[in-house]
Amino acid sequence: MKVLLKKTFGFAITLLCFGFSLSGFSQQDAQYTNYMYNTTLINPAYTGTREVMSMFALHRSQWVGLDGAPVTSAVSAHTPLGQSNTGLGVSFVNDQIGPSVENTISVDFAYRIPTGLSTLSFGIKGSANLLNVDYRKLAIHDIADPKFQNNVDNQFSPNVGAGLYWYSDNYYLGASVPNFLETKHYDDNASATAKERMHYYFMGGYVFDLNDNLKFKPAFLTKMITGAPLQVDLTANFMLHDKFVIGASYRWDAAVSFLAGFQLSKKFFLGYSYDTESTQLANYNSGSHEIFLRFELFRKQEKIYAPRFF
């Protein structure tokens, strides 16, 4: 009975989310708890700011046990270009929710301006998106409804975004809009299947050196979208001996998260987070899991005395 209830509720959530898209409401970008480690996906100005070739892979399973729940996989790489103040990056995101699958590839370019003890970075993002929707995955009450007769196959839409990122060794502030174009996707009946709205991101964080072996970093991420509730993530992480990271996060009126990471070597950093819902949705799933691996390639002459906390 419980399994049947989960499936029924899962279909309802999927249809509700998809129904919002049909009605022209915003289509959410992929959600990340570990946004502080894959910042280029939401802010192109972060590109090249780590001063090394940085490669990143992440997998997120959201609302595990709920049919049609979001599943996101992302890979990215970014690097400074020689000794210049420019950076270049590329990323790929596969985002699945209910009957829809989105594949997005992006290219990021950033230019950094030193401002005394800090640096101001400007970034631009160019993206190509492919949307697929398989209506056969839905539990449709009226199978004769013309809105569900033709699947959406590889509908292409371009986009462009921009961002600012101001940072030093101890703090950062950022603002970005990854997608300026509010693209409408259509099916063969010329009715809108989904509409992508602009997402406004604001972020910041500060690293406190409590002692030689302990750092504390409070941080925030705010996301604003027309037609959707304001989303605020408040995070607090501790770094011990420049190797272990442990912390917690609160997504306003949505979820509580627990985060952990380990610097396996100078090049590899492994991280994991678990989200538990703070809403009624917690009765129908067993939480969300996110795991990632970062690999950084240093030049032979570089000496890294301590890993940067962001």
pLDDT in tens, 159-199: 999 999 999 999 999 999 999 988 765 555 555 556 677 89
pLDDT in tens, 109-134: 999 999 989 999 999 999 999 999 88
Q: Are 112 and 48 in contact (CB under 8 A)?
A: yes
Provide the residue ranges of all domains of the chain, joining segments of one domain with +.
2-297
Q: Please indicate whether residue 280 or residue 86 has the higher confidence score (pLDDT).
A: 86
Q: How much is the pLDDT for 154?
A: 83
CA 249 to chain centre: 15
Window from 188-192, 251-255, 262-266, 293-297 with minimum mean pLDDT: 188-192
- The owner of tokens 């090394």 is 52
Q: How much is the pLDDT for 20?
A: 39
**CATH number given to 2-297:** 2.40.160.40
> Which residues in 223-252 are b (16+ Cβ under 10 Å) and which e?
bebeeeeebbbebebbbeebeebebebebe
Residue of 132, 87, 83, 130 lying closest to 107 (CA atoms): 87
Q: How much is the pLDDT for 301?
A: 54
- Say whether pLDDT at 256 is over 90: yes
Q: How much is the pLDDT for 216?
A: 97
- Classify residue 68 as left (phi > 0), alpha (psi -120 to 50) or beta: left
Indicate the pLDDT class of residue 9, thresholds 50, 70 and 90.
very low
Sign of CA dihedral 147, 151, 155, 160: positive
Q: What is the mean pLDDT of the chain?
A: 85
- Say whether pLDDT at 14 is over 70: no
Q: What is the mean pLDDT of residues 232-245?
A: 96
For the question of whether the overall pTM of this predicted structure is more than 0.75, the answer is yes
Q: What is the mean pLDDT of residues 43-69?
A: 95
- Say whether pLDDT at 15 is over 50: no
**What angle (nearest 5°) sits at the alpha carbon of residue 219, between those of residues 217 and 223?**
165
pLDDT in tens, 196-221: 778 999 999 999 999 999 999 999 99
Indicate the pLDDT class of residue 4, thresholds 50, 70 and 90.
very low
- The owner of tokens 């590329």 is 90
